[in-house]
Amino acid sequence: MEEFSDERLARLTGMLKRRGVILPAFEIHGGAAGLYDFGPVGGRLRNRVNQTWVDHWQSLGNVVEISCPTVTPYSVLEASGHVGEFSDFLTECKGCGAPSRADHLVEEFHPNAESLSRDELTSLIKTHNPPCPSCSDSSWGPVEAQNLMFNTKIGAGASGRQAFLRPETAQGMFTSFTSIYRHFRERLPFGAIQTGKGYRNEISPRQGMIRLREFNMAELEYFIDPEVEPNHDFSIWTDNVMLISEESGEIKTTFGEAVTAGIIRHPTVGYFMAWTMDFLGKVGINPKHLRFRQHESDEMAHYAQDCWDAEILGSYGWVECVGIAHRGCYDLSAHEEATGQKLRAWRTFPEPKLVEIDGWTIDGAKAGPAFRSLAGRVKEIVEGLPADSTFPLSLDIDGQSVEVLSEHVKRVQRSENVNGEWFVPHVVEPAFGIDRIIWHLLDHCYVETEKSGESYTLLSLPELVSPVDVTVLPLFEKDGMGDLAQKIHRDLCGRRNVFSSYDASGSIGRRYARADEIGVPWCITVDHESLVDGSVTLRSRDSGEQTRVLISDLPF
């Protein structure tokens, strides 16, 4: 098992930069904190991890992919709660003016500084007077909430409309709910996924890929009927996993047992935890460095019914990489309320119900002329009033005051056979930080060893995500070996899902080492014999084994 250390981290980071896997963005222009590039090797790794994620969740059979804009109007993120809530506490150094996150300043004085209130942070800073990370001064301004969204404007000049870069992809699934519901022919459960950029204007980004200002996200919003008991089969997950539950602390058990015991509070949350573990294993996360931690009640959003983080152990300690939350009906209800549009699903009763209706409606003949264009809105409101309402009644409709007199309304009392009802579906959301996962799979697959007395490193990446499938190496470029190697290389590049590279510099041993360093699972060497009998040497990264195969029999 890997031994994580700061020295190993420095070597790994250096290799990732040197080989073009992950590197600070815009470095020739002085860089920009919290922004990273996936370079000539990392770009394909990112693409494959992303595509593996999409395929993984689509294989559920009732999940579709959508793609929405990142620029998001103010009203959408006001409705979702992000305008009001998505913030960190910031304080400015009185010496140099540099802003710091208040919780970062006091994290050595509190085990969970992120959860502290503004007053608690203010008092801790007063007590301990931490030094400014920029100038070492210890004099701090007031602690203020700072919204973390990137601001922008849609449209030109004075008519520009305030907007943000999305802090998550999830809102697109909620605002498109109607279209997705129609697509699934109005049958729950179903899900929609989206991958793409999310943004968070961090006050002080740090820890490499862990805390980015622009990041790759991947989220599933899975819509369910809260009255239908899910019927998930947990029997295929027989291994124990490490759970840290709110009530029981650290336990080792199976997902099925944890659901049965009520430790995981909803079966679909448990089911997606298991699917999450499977995904992480596929892309190269070491399952021994994985645990699931349940949010404490005071840590969880008020509307959430249960929430588990998949945490991965690596060079930065345990890091939250996935959150799996039961969000209840919060999101759809919030957009309903903000827009007046119904975001509901229909539930047919097993058999029709006789319902007593006792309430009010408007008397069209009198209400129509009285309220004119507002008559429809008045009707809607009146029909929602309880039976014991009294009139006259004052309503406020979009800022207009309306007086409803008793002559405008009629009492309604009748029995009705009802076949079903509209309800707001509940949502279970697995949300993935793709950059953090890529960081950790690199961290887990990075192996430092020795070869002939010299240090030797390799990336033991799963073939599914390795950035290069195969490297073609001519022993020499002369005598037609270079041409034949190029031909094989080009031919492999033309195959679907195969990416080959070509390397002709240095000894074969050096080139094997170069391929191992970035995790290429296979090398093909073209030599003099190849020109005669069409055979090449196929060498495996993992076993080091070399076999002679015909070009026509290459397993790609």
Q: Which of residues 295-354 bind a second copy (CB under 8 A)?
A: 335, 338-339, 341, 343
How many of the other CB atoms lie within 10 Å of CB of 289?
Answer: 19
Among 8, 15, 150, 359, binds a second copy (CB under 8 A): 150
DSSP letters of 133-164?
Answer: TTT----B---EEEE-SPEEEESSGGG-EEEE
- Could you tell me which stretch among 305-313, 348-356, 396-404, 497-505 binds a second copy (CB under 8 A)? 497-505
Query: Which amino acid makes up residue 418?
Result: V
Distance CA 203, CA 209 (A): 15
* Residue choice 8, 15, 40, 395 for contact with a second copy (CB under 8 A): 40
Taking the CB of residue 191, how many other CB atoms lie within 10 A of it?
24
List 51, 260, 457, 535, residue binding a second copy (CB under 8 A): 51
Query: Chain centroid to CA 259: how far?
Result: 23
Residue-by-residue DSSP string for 217-255: EEEEEEEE-TTSPP----TT--S-EEEEETTTEEEEE-H
Q: Considering only residues 5, 10, 26, 405, which one is a binding residue for a second copy as defined by CB under 8 A?
A: 26
Q: Minimum distance from CB of 151 to a second copy (Å)?
A: 6
Q: Which stretch binds a second copy (CB under 8 A): 4-12, 183-191, 218-226, 355-363?
A: 183-191
Nearer to a second copy, 151 or 546 (CB): 151
* Nearest approach, Cβ of residue 2 and a second copy (Å): 26
Reported as type and span, the H/E element at residue 368 is helix 364-371
Task: Determine, following the binding rule CB under 8 A, whether residue 118 of this chain makes contact with a second copy.
Answer: no
Residues 68-107 that bind a second copy (CB under 8 A): 68-73, 75-76, 79, 90, 92, 97-99
Instruction: Please list every residue from 205 through 264 that binds a second copy, using CB under 8 A.
Output: 213-214
**DSSP summary character for residue 93:** B
* Selected binder of a second copy within 5, 10, 14, 67 (CB under 8 A): 67
Distance between CA 364 and CA 356 in Å, rounded? 23
Q: Which helix (H) or strand (E) holds 364?
A: helix 364-371
Which range touches a second copy (CB under 8 A), out of 32-40, 251-259, 268-276, 362-370? 32-40
Among 115, 117, 151, 406, binds a second copy (CB under 8 A): 151
Q: Which of 94, 118, 161, 252 binds a second copy (CB under 8 A)?
A: 161
Interface with a second copy, residue 28, by CB under 8 A: yes
Q: Which residues pair with 535 in a beta bridge?
A: 550
Where does this chain touch a second copy (CB under 8 A) — which range of 37-45, 247-255, 285-293, 317-325?
A: 37-45
- 152 scored as a contact of a second copy (CB under 8 A): yes
The whole-angstrom separation of Cα 317 and Cα 296 is: 20
For residue 486, the Cα-to-chain-centroid distance in whole angstroms is 40
